[in-house]
């Protein structure tokens, strides 16, 4: 028996050495080939070789072949990384847009307490010059880049004021602008607190802790913690947030990678603030990564009722690695597992089809796990809610109005005509205001076709390709007449779903971003149904 064990150990060692040598050989082979190809191109290619461009394309393509999250970040894009990790940048703190290339920059929305806000800029003000340079001919992005800069530096804007029409110079000192992850915290009713969180950047756990304590002082007896659309962020922040609601020393997530340094378990390390208050965690297909760590851990401990639709399924951990020339690489180094042992990763990037595409892990190949109370949960496809409640879908015209910017641009026009509006809880768009919106939208270019009309147009093209259109022309004309609504008719038909979005855009211009979230809760049917849904008992 001992001889067999020795032979087996030697065999494993030989295989390991051989595998390691093979990896090193392949890496050396391809590095040498790439160098040789570049040298030959540099020597003999017919035109000047754009080395920087083709190398960047090559690096991006190489990393893209692994997964969407492993990316190269050159020095000039470090500020974008800073914005992604901490949601901060140096600037004046305002959303701008430029309706025409030969026009002025419109202040769309100054952030609350930002340099722009402190300098008295309001929605509808027009920027004519930035540090003495006319904005005529500049794009929105070029204007934005000129307004950004190192915190503490000065900026002079020539501004045409909305209310008075006066042109004046506005002196602003740039600051470090932080876009908050915790976008709203308030009471839905006398006993229900509500927190909407859009990311997991540095410091968010402390913000959530403070928000929960403040809501408890207002009488909160149950909490709705909304992570819908939250794409995640810093793992450690997720661990700390779970630690607010479960006992100290609880396992939150395990990370398992190839390197020993990537084998880690993360436990809560501070006393919780409340282990008893009922919690609803709302999730959807946009909830990913750190959102799934939080919702998965609270589900595994039967500490919260997860409500909504299945989450995205990102069970991969990224780390930042330094590179030469002040570059960095965000690289996938591990997979993470919830306390019950689940990996929520939905896409298998390690096994690609012949065409390079990847597929989701089928439900038939997922595995069962158990929560602390013995309930069955599964891996391999995100977090499945305890109570599934789909959101109300938007029609195609409403989505088109939003993506084309018409809703927010109309909000600016509304502000120009109305110096003030009632408080958020009392504000409603009047019928006359909606008629005004219809007239505004009729004059704008956007795709207002219904889904049925888009499918009909696709069918017409296919019939033409097949040579069948002429023989069916009479029937097609009748069907087209029935489904081809004009712009005004369709806008009136979808009034009930368009009005809340207009109201949200408007209140933000008067009362800043939290007001928009507050108004959104008024119309959020998924949220209202969640409040009436059955709950998971604590420790079930």
Beta strands at 71-73 and 88-91: parallel, antiparallel or unpaired = unpaired
The whole-number pLDDT of residue 14 equals 52
Residue 481 pLDDT > 80: no
Model confidence pLDDT, tens digit, residues 268-278: 999 999 999 99
Model confidence pLDDT, tens digit, residues 402-460: 999 999 999 999 999 999 999 999 999 999 999 999 999 999 988 888 778 788 888 88
Active site residue 486: no
Q: Is the dihedral of CA 251, 257, 258, 264 positive or negative?
A: negative
**pLDDT classification of 18: cutoffs 50, 70, 90:** low
Q: Are 366 and 378 in contact (CB under 8 A)?
A: yes
Torsion, Cα 211 214 216 218, to 10 degrees, reads: -130
**In the 3-class helix/strand/coil scheme, how is 470-499 assigned residue by residue?**
HHHHHHHHHHHHHHCCCHHHHHHHCHHHHH
**Which residue of the set 300, 302, 379, 524 is catalytic?**
300
193 by DSSP, 3-state: which? strand
The whole-number pLDDT of residue 450 equals 77
**In the 3-class helix/strand/coil scheme, how is 339-378 assigned residue by residue?**
CCCCCCCCECCCCCCCCCCCCECCHHHCCEEECCCCCEEE
The whole-number pLDDT of residue 13 equals 47
The whole-number pLDDT of residue 1 equals 47
Instruction: Give me the mean pLDDT over the 145-161 stretch.
Output: 95
Domains and CATH numbers, the chain: 88-178 (2.30.42.10), 182-351+358-388 (3.90.226.10), 396-450+485-531 (no CATH)
Range scoring the smallest mean pLDDT among 148-157, 374-383, 531-540: 531-540
Rounded alpha-carbon distances, angstroms, from residue 272 to 2, 18, 30, 244, 250: 52, 50, 52, 4, 11
**Which residue of the set 125, 144, 250, 314 is catalytic?**
314
Active site residue 330: no
Q: Which residues neighbour 197 within 8 Å (Cβ) at sequence distance 6 or greater? A: 181, 182, 183, 204, 208, 225, 226, 227, 230
Give the whole-angstrom CA distance, residue 445 versus residue 431.
Answer: 23
The whole-number pLDDT of residue 21 equals 58
Active site residue 148: no
Q: Are 101 and 123 in contact (CB under 8 A)?
A: no
Instruction: Give me the mean pLDDT over the 205-232 stretch.
Output: 98
Task: Give the residue carrying structure tokens 């020539």.
Answer: 158
Model confidence pLDDT, tens digit, residues 47-105: 888 988 988 999 999 999 899 999 998 888 877 777 776 778 899 999 998 988 999 99
**Which residue of the set 144, 198, 287, 289 is catalytic?**
289
How does the average pLDDT of the chain come out, rounded?
90
Instruction: Give me the mean pLDDT over the 294-303 stretch.
Output: 97
The whole-number pLDDT of residue 356 equals 67
Residue 6 pLDDT > 60: no
Give the whole-angstrom CA distance, residue 97 versus residue 107.
Answer: 7
The whole-number pLDDT of residue 12 equals 46
Note if the pTM is more than 0.85.
yes
């Amino acid at each position: 028996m001992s001889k067999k064990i020795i032979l087996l150990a030697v065999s494993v060692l030989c295989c390991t050495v051989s595998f390691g040598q093979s990896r090193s050989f392949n890496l050396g082979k391809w590095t040498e080939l790439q160098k040789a190809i570049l040298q030959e191109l540099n020597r003999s290619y017919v035109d000047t070789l754009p080395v920087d461009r083709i190398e960047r394309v090559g690096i991006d393509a190489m990393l893209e072949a692994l997964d969407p999250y492993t990316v190269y970040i050159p020095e000039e894009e470090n500020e974008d990384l800073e914005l992604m990790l901490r949601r901060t940048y140096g600037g004046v703190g305002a959303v701008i847009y430029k309706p025409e290339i030969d026009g002025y920059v419109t202040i769309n929305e100054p952030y609350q307490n930002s340099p722009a806000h402190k300098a008295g800029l309001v929605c509808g003000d027009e920027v004519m010059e930035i540090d003495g340079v006319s904005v005529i001919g500049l794009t929105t992005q070029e204007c934005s880049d000129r307004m950004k800069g190192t915190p503490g530096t000065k900026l002079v804007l020539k501004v045409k004021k909305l209310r008075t029409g006066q042109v004046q110079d506005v002196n602003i000192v740039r600051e470090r602008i932080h876009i908050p992850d915790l976008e709203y915290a308030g009471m839905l009713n006398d006993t229900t607190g509500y927190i909407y969180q859009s990311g997991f950047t540095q410091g968010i756990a402390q913000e959530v802790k403070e928000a929960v304590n403040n809501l408890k002082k207002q009488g909160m007896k149950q909490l709705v913690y909304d992570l819908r659309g939250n794409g995640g962020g810093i793992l450690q922040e997720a661990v700390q947030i779970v630690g607010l609601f479960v006992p100290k020393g609880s396992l939150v997530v395990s990370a398992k990678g190839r390197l020993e340094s990537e084998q880690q378990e993360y436990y809560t390390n501070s006393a919780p603030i409340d282990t008893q208050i009922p919690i609803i965690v709302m999730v959807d297909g946009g909830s990913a990564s750190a959102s799934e760590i939080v919702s998965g851990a609270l589900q595994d401990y039967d500490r919260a009722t997860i409500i909504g639709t299945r989450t995205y399924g990102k069970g991969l951990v990224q780390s930042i690695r330094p590179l030469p020339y002040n570059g960095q690489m965000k690289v996938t180094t591990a997979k993470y597992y919830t306390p019950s042992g689940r990996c929520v990763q939905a896409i298998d990037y390690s096994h690609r089809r012949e065409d390079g595409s990847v597929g989701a892990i089928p439900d038939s190949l997922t595995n069962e796990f158990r929560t602390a109370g013995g309930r069955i949960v599964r891996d391999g496809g995100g977090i499945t809610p305890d109570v599934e409640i789909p959101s109300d879908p938007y029609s195609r015209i409403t989505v088109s109005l939003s993506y084309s910017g018409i809703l927010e641009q109309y909000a600016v026009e509304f502000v120009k005509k109305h110096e003030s509006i009632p408080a958020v809880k009392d504000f409603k768009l009047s019928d006359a205001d909606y008629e005004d919106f219809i007239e505004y939208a009729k004059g704008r270019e956007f795709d207002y076709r219904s889904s049925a009309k888009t499918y009909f147009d696709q069918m017409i093209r296919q019939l033409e390709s097949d040579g069948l259109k002429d023989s069916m022309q009479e029937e097609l004309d009748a069907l087209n007449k029935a489904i081809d609504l004009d712009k005004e008719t369709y806008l009136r038909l979808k009034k009930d779903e368009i009005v809340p979005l207009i109201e949200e855009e408007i209140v933000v211009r008067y009362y800043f971003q939290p007001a928009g979230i507050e108004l959104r809760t008024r119309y959020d049917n998924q949220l209202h149904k969640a409040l009436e849904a059955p709950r998971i008992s604590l420790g079930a």
